[in-house]
């Protein structure tokens, strides 16, 4: 079988790979996209509960975690959220803005995948699905070996994503290729992942499974105020997912279940109240949550009027400065992203090309750039994919 010869071989038909492919194809490059999955863009399809939170109105570098916080700036400027929104509008994909600038499709993520595939087809991009890469080596050009044959390419773009959600095709291929070509890796861990708490908290919180409250969760340096969902394992919902990306095993989180209330002042004003604490708290929290917090922290059950100053301090500590040390995240199986990845120090932020390996590019989540919740991860995939596509 004679080898396939292309200008650009893109590994991964996800968000970054497809955006890169349509960009490079539109520049006249002969592009082949290879993916082991049977379907392209599977994470795009499940993103945002199927509606795909494809970007955010306010994308800033502060929304990203990376050993080099400035790395993302150039790509996000070269292809911004406004550029992606313009592309969405050009494809007549209806979208809606939800809280905090988050943009979603109105009629489902499949429209975005279809539009990407449409642009790829128009640009003459070939997509090989269900194809495993056996090995790749660099001779005069890059030579990729697959069960379906050998591919020669002048440029290779690694857009194979991270380790999160292996049920959508995630593998460590990108990190293995980086290591093969001598690029360092920043240690990875699951991000935007639910948290499992220890006993005795786990049993108490499991009884609240399905109940959500507005709360603030803080790690040593980052605090998120959003919906907190109690689960059988402990904590989930946006506040827990956000803080999980910054959490290190062994660290305590600070939980504030009443972030919008001056609890110390309110308690002081209620010193004539003859109702028990849990009953009064039920004005501010779901009744079962109020009762569980009282039980868990063994808070006084006497009427508020009989509370000493020390009692009040304990109540404020339990509700607004609750130190909770999670046991673990629920791991890559349930994480939305991978924190860490290919060290950006080894990659040009202007082109996404590996500094020491001309012709080898990286784009998307495989790099050590991880967005917060809110459309930032897909925007990074679009931006870095576009930049790689412009420079291959």
Write down the least CB distance from residue 279 to ligand FAD, Å: 39
The rounded distance, in Å, linking the Cα atoms of 347 and 387 is 12
* Identified binder of ligand FAD from the candidate list 238, 365, 388, 391, rule CB under 6 A: 365
Give φ, ψ of 367 to 5 degrees. Answer: -80, 160
237 binds ligand FAD (CB under 6 A): no
How far is it between the farthest Cα atoms of the chain? 88
User: What is the enclosing helix (H) or strand (E) of 295?
Assistant: helix 287-296
Write down the least CB distance from residue 358 to ligand FAD, Å: 22
Residue 313: Cβ within 10 Å count: 14
161 binds ligand FAD (CB under 6 A): yes
Write down the least CB distance from residue 104 to ligand FAD, Å: 8
The rounded distance, in Å, linking the Cα atoms of 60 and 68 is 14
Nearest partner of 328 among 129, 207, 190, judged by Cα: 190
* Identified binder of ligand FAD from the candidate list 25, 48, 190, 191, rule CB under 6 A: 48
Write down the least CB distance from residue 14 to ligand FAD, Å: 2
Provide the b/e sequence for 356-368 (b: ≥16 CB within 10 Å): ebebbbbbbbbbb
238 binds ligand FAD (CB under 6 A): no
Residue 250: Cβ within 10 Å count: 8
* Count of residues interacting with ligand FAD (CB under 6 A): 37
Only segment of 74-82, 136-144, 223-231, 363-371 that touches ligand FAD (CB under 6 A):
363-371
Between 229 and 290, whose beta carbon lies closer to ligand FAD?
229
369 binds ligand FAD (CB under 6 A): no
Between 366 and 392, whose beta carbon lies closer to ligand FAD?
366
Between 162 and 234, whose beta carbon lies closer to ligand FAD?
162
Binding map of ligand FAD across residues 303-342, x = CB under 6 A, - = no contact? ---------------------------------xx-----
* Identified binder of ligand FAD from the candidate list 10, 47, 127, 360, rule CB under 6 A: 47
The rounded distance, in Å, linking the Cα atoms of 24 and 21 is 5
Write down the least CB distance from residue 177 to ligand FAD, Å: 9
The rounded distance, in Å, linking the Cα atoms of 146 and 151 is 8
The rounded distance, in Å, linking the Cα atoms of 230 and 208 is 6
Write down the least CB distance from residue 178 to ligand FAD, Å: 13
Only segment of 15-23, 256-264, 293-301, 311-319 that touches ligand FAD (CB under 6 A):
15-23
Q: Which of residues 99-138 bind ligand FAD (CB under 6 A)?
A: 133
43 binds ligand FAD (CB under 6 A): yes
Q: Which two tokens stand for residue 100?
A: 């905090």
* Identified binder of ligand FAD from the candidate list 23, 105, 160, 349, rule CB under 6 A: 160
* Identified binder of ligand FAD from the candidate list 115, 151, 163, 173, rule CB under 6 A: 173
Write down the least CB distance from residue 13 to ligand FAD, Å: 5
12 binds ligand FAD (CB under 6 A): yes
Between 175 and 230, whose beta carbon lies closer to ligand FAD?
175
Give φ, ψ of 290 to 5 degrees. Answer: -60, -45
Q: State the residue number with the nearest CB to ligand FAD.
A: 14
Nearest partner of 20 among 11, 51, 114, 86, judged by Cα: 11
User: What is the enclosing helix (H) or strand (E) of 358?
Assistant: none
Write down the least CB distance from residue 189 to ligand FAD, Å: 15
DSSP 67-125: SSTTHHHHHHHHS-HHHHHHHHHHTT--EEE-GGGEEEESS-THHHHHHHHHHHHHTT-
DSSP 14-68: SHHHHHHHHHHHHTT--EEEE-SSSSS-HHHHHGGGGT-EEEESS--GGGEE-SS
178 binds ligand FAD (CB under 6 A): no
The position carrying tokens 């379906």 is 148
Give residues with Cβ within 8 angstroms of 7, minimum separation 6: 24, 29, 30, 31, 153, 154, 155, 392
Contact residues for ligand FAD (CB under 6 A)?
Answer: 11-17, 35-37, 42-43, 46-48, 52-53, 133, 159-161, 164-165, 169-171, 173, 336-337, 364-366, 375-378, 381
């Amino acid at each position: 079988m004679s080898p396939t010869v292309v200008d650009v071989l893109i590994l991964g038909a996800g968000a970054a790979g497809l955006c890169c492919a349509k960009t490079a194809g539109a520049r006249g490059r002969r592009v082949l996209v290879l993916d082991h999955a049977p379907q392209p863009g599977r994470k795009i399809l499940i993103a945002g509960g199927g509606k795909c939170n494809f970007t955010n109105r306010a994308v800033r570098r502060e929304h990203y975690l990376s050993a080099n916080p400035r790395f993302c700036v150039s790509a996000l400027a070269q292809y911004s959220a406004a550029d992606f929104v313009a592309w969405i509008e050009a494809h007549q994909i209806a979208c809606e803005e939800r809280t905090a600038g988050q943009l979603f499709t109105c009629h489902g993520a499949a429209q975005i995948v279809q539009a990407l595939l449409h642009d790829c087809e128009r640009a003459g991009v070939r997509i090989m699905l269900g194809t495993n890469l056996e090995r790749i080596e660099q001779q005069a050009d890059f030579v990729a070996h697959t069960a379906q044959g050998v591919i020669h390419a002048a440029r290779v773009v690694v857009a194979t994503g991270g380790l999160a959600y292996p049920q959508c095709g995630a593998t460590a291929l990108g990190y293995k290729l980086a290591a093969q070509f001598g690029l360092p890796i920043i240690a990875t861990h699951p991000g935007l992942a639910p948290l499992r708490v220890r006993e005795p908290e786990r049993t108490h919180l499991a009884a609240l499974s399905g109940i959500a409250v507005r709360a603030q969760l803080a790690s040593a340096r980052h605090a998120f105020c959003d919906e907190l969902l109690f689960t059988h394992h402990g904590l989930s919902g946006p506040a827990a997912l956000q803080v999980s990306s910054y959490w290190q095993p062994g660290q305590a989180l600070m939980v504030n279940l009443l972030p919008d209330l001056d609890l110390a002042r309110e308690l002081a004003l209620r010193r004539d109240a003859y109702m028990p604490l849990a009953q009064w708290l039920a004005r501010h929290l779901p009744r079962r949550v109020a009762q569980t917090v009282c039980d868990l922290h063994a808070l006084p059950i006497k009427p508020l009027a009989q509370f000493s100053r020390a009692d009040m301090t304990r109540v404020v500590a339990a509700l607004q400065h609750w130190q909770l040390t999670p046991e673990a995240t629920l791991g890559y199986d349930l994480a939305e992203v991978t924190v860490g990845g290919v060290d950006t120090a080894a990659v040009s932020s202007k082109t996404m090309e590996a500094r020491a390996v001309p012709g080898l590019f990286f784009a998307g989540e495989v790099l050590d750039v991880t967005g917060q919740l809110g459309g930032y991860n897909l925007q990074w995939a679009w931006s870095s994919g576009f930049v790689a596509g412009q420079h291959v």
